[in-house]
Chains A and B, each alone.
Chain A
Amino acid sequence: MSTQQSGAPGGTQEPLPRAGQVPGLGALRQTGNLFALAASVLWLSFKRPFQVRELIEQFWFIASVTILPSMLVSIPFGAVITLQVGSLTQQLGAESFTGAASVLAVVQQASPLIVALLIAGAGGSAICADIGSRTIREEMEAMEVMGVSPIQRLIVPRVMAASLVAVLLNGLVSVVGVLGGYFFFVYLQHGTPGAFLASFSSLAQLPDLYISEIKALIFGFIAGVVAAHRGLNPRPGPKGVGEAVNQSVVISFLLLFFVNLILTAIYLKIVPPKG
């Protein structure tokens, strides 16, 4: 311990040497932070103590805000695809394949995306607002100071809940979407129920369902991580939280469609089409 009197207060201050501001560096840094957060969420998912209670609460919350809207969205979506594909196939004279085409489109593309959009829009925005307001109230720092990792305590259960709800919801949306398509095909376009089902079983295969569920899992994870990342890094003040929620929805939508493109391309390359 020493008593010290440093130089006069008017002493010159030299700014510390810093890396020059390169345009785009900020975006790159944010991307890096996002990936780092995703990695630590994955890593901490397997570390004890696991927050079972928080997981169940979040699971229930996300499921309750997404089930009804996603079903309501999936019925018209399945119908639209069936109608569009049906009118096309009629022109081509391949009516019997309407069933296969619409079911594959619903299961592989529409259903995971509907689920992901609703999880990001309804669940993710709520997660982001919750985490963001806690961050600006210094709750996260307080938790860290108490030796509790906010990522493990709060973020992991939320991301996990989002992924699990996405997987389960995807099953529901697929069924509802296919039923909606079937209904419109049979009753509005006067197609034959047998043709719908037969073409479906002749062209669709089990890996189509697998990729659908894998997509849903990944989309749910992305929506959860993006929401958490924006929530953990808001600009200060209540306005910052609002902006963070906005950004979280936009960023997750962009990422979802991009990742969907990549996953679809990979799937079509590695899984040979049936028939």
Chain B
Amino acid sequence: MQDVVLSLLAKEPAHGYELRQRLGAALGPAGGALNPGQVYVTLSRLERAGLVEAREIAQPSHPDKKVYELTAAGRERVVRWLNDLTWAKVAPLEFHLKLVMAAATRLADPVALVDSQRLELLRQLRQLQELALDEPADADGALLLEGASLRLQADIRWLEACQQRFLEREGQRQ
């Protein structure tokens, strides 16, 4: 979250409300799930860490607003974050291990595990598609939904391959 908030400030200084709006636009429907206070909590931590500076700006008819700006250290961290190649896990490792152990221990049926997991992913895929239908195709948030949808489809195909394998093994045992 810290890196995200810093990067939102990299274009130009902004107050907390503007940052929330920028983040909401980038996330699309997923933005609704954010805790509104999170941006402010993160900003004050970043300020204590010397990564952002705050200025109070007097407003005639409203209370003063705090405008945040990146420090040199903050800007450096944004560049580092943007160029960092860390990626989420390439494969569903834990589920893979569950299947292998279920088959070895006979404490659960791997074919049934795949069935229930696949249904859960199909439900999520359905929800994603419903969200995507309501989202303008050129919005940034639509890209996030597409990323999630393609990943789910890949996971579902993988589950089908797993199931095929375990069914073949069962067939050989009989």
Instruction: Tell whether A and B belong to one assembly.
Output: no
